[in-house]
Amino acid sequence: MPMTNTGWFLASSIASQSSTRGSSVDSSYSFRKSGVIWRKSPTIRRHTVRTVCRILSRAYGNPRFGNPSDPLDDLVYIILSNKTMPRTARTVYGQLQKQFPKWDDILAAPINDLRSLLRPAGLSVIKSRHIRAALRSIKKRFGVCDLSALKGVAPEAAQDYLVGLPGVSEKVAKCVMMYTLGAQVLPVDTHVHRVSGRLGWTSRKRADQCHAELEALVPPRLRRDFHVSCIAHGRKTCRPRSPLCNYCPISKYCAFFKAAR
């Protein structure tokens, strides 16, 4: 019997899966240690990271921010929510699901229909093109618009496939993996980048440059909580401008706060 597209994908990941322990992507590849925290001893560094993660988790809990639990649902949600206010993203996503009950329906509809729905979220021309192209690529691979085949696949294989889709960056791929596939990865968005930079954990200028360094610092089991806590902390306290440092629960460990005193 010929192998299905889904079967081929699963079979192609067996070698990677058999050599993977746990469900985290290997971040041991070479990177430049840019954060001042690397100047500390390994013992102090580990203690600092774990303490900060614990404090943030206690302060903000484990919010999900409206991310769906299905991999493809979450991928579409993340693409449309880029550079969009959370409330607007949730509203637009709800309207999108109502208009297109199945993601395959988007491929059969005029692209202008998709653009019109996405317009309140901004960048509708780019987002509609990325969503449509990603869905077309997924359907070509699996025969249907569905990413369920990624469940149980080695994290490295899942990430490699996702970043190969149109409009999917490493951050987007890691978000889908973290929220829906149970992978112990650390997506670095603008909030994670800002909080980590002020803590002195990285000095890189762009969020997309920080994944390897921050995953090397934050233990796999703490990465999800750190990611969602940084989003909550970045919105409430560690703001881009005029951060509320005097109300910050982790100011004791913050290089930015210490330098500003």
Mean pLDDT of 194-222: 97
Per-residue model confidence as pLDDT tens digits over 216-248 = 999 999 999 999 999 999 999 999 999 999 999
Please say if the pLDDT value at position 66 is more than 90: no
| pLDDT at res. 159 | 96
| pLDDT at res. 18 | 38
Rounded to an integer, what distance in angstroms lies between the CA atom of residue 180 and that of residue 150?
10
**Matching residue, tokens 């774990």:** 50
| pLDDT at res. 10 | 53
Query: What does the mean pLDDT of the chain come to?
Result: 90
DSSP letter at 2 equals P
Please say if the pLDDT value at position 93 is more than 80: yes
When pLDDT is cut at 50, 70 and 90, the band that residue 261 belongs to is: confident
Alpha carbon 82 to its chain's center? 11
Q: Which of 31-35, 62-66, 247-251 has the lowest mean pLDDT?
A: 62-66
Write out the two tokens for 65.
């921010």
When pLDDT is cut at 50, 70 and 90, the band that residue 7 belongs to is: low
Please say if the pLDDT value at position 17 is more than 80: no
Write out the two tokens for 8.
């081929």
Half-sphere exposure of 139 (CA within 13 A, CB side): 15
Please say if the pLDDT value at position 11 is more than 70: no
| pLDDT at res. 260 | 85
In order of their start, the domains of the chain are 36-63+185-260 (1.10.1670.10), 71-180 (1.10.340.30)
Rounded to an integer, what distance in angstroms lies between the CA atom of residue 207 and that of residue 193?
5
DSSP per-residue letters across 93-142: HHHHHHH-SSTHHHHHS-HHHHHHHHGGGS-HHHHHHHHHHHHHHHHHHH
| pLDDT at res. 62 | 82
Please say if the pLDDT value at position 28 is more than 80: no
**Sign of torsion over alpha carbons 172, 37, 35, 38:** negative
